[in-house]
Every structure is written in structure tokens, then in C-alpha cells.
Amino acid sequence: MKKKLSLIFESKDQYFLIPLLISLFTVLLITILIWIFFISLPPQLPLFYSLSWGDNQLVSKQQLFLLPIVLSVIILINTFIVSQLHPLQKVLKRLLMLSLIFIDLIILTTFLKILSIFL
């Protein structure tokens, strides 16, 4: 496994390491913010905006931890896929790693939108 991870980052290409660090920072930031504001949040929060308006969108405040968990799983899956690709497929590797930044933005925006409603 260590060899495969070293293959991902063997070229000193900034497109591999920087998105991974940004994603890990985002997971850490969201988790810390949840812990900071956990007491002041109401018992139910809107998380599933794609569902019809009302009780279907609401989750308990403990389920807010789904956001960093989902982001962590996406990071692991993308990193695993990148490690399985051939070293000559740099463009696809870069696209997968850069997609982490966009996913971070989407999840961070969702989290900040939920916090802005109640704070």
C-alpha cells in the first residue's frame, strides 16, 4: 500500500498533493465547527434540500456529522482510484484529484448554509 501511495505522488506534481491537503483541511474544519456550534444548534436541522419541503429535509444535529464522513469517504475513493491508474494517465489522475476541491466547495457551502440559518 505504501508503494502505491508513493506512486500517486512520485512526480512532484502540485495537482496531486494540494487538492488532498485542501480536502483534509476541509474535513477537519467542518468537524471542528460542528463541535464548536453543537450546543447552540437546534435539535433538528435541514440537511436534505433535494427532498420536498418539510419534515423530510430535517435530521437530528448528530447527523450533521454525515458531511465530513461523506467527504472523507470520497477522498479515500478518489485516492484509491488514482493509485490504481497507470502512471501515464496523468490527466485523469489530475482531474480526479482536482474534483476533490469542487466536492469540498459543495459540502462546505451546504454546511455554511445550514449554520447561517441558525446563527
Q: Which three cell numbers stand for residue 118?
A: 441558525
Question: Where do the H-state alpha helices sit in 1-119?
Answer: 2-8, 14-37, 66-84, 90-118
The pLDDT value recorded for residue 3 is 56
54-82 confidence digits (pLDDT tens) = 888 888 989 999 999 999 999 999 989 98
Q: Which three cell numbers stand for residue 26?
A: 476541509
pLDDT of 7 higher than 70: no
Q: How far apart are CA 78 and CA 19, in angstroms?
A: 11
Q: Which three cell numbers stand for residue 42?
A: 437546534
28-37 confidence digits (pLDDT tens) = 999 999 999 9
Partners of 2 in the β-ladder: none
Q: Are 90 and 10 within 8 A, CB to CB?
A: no
pTM for the full predicted model: 0.79
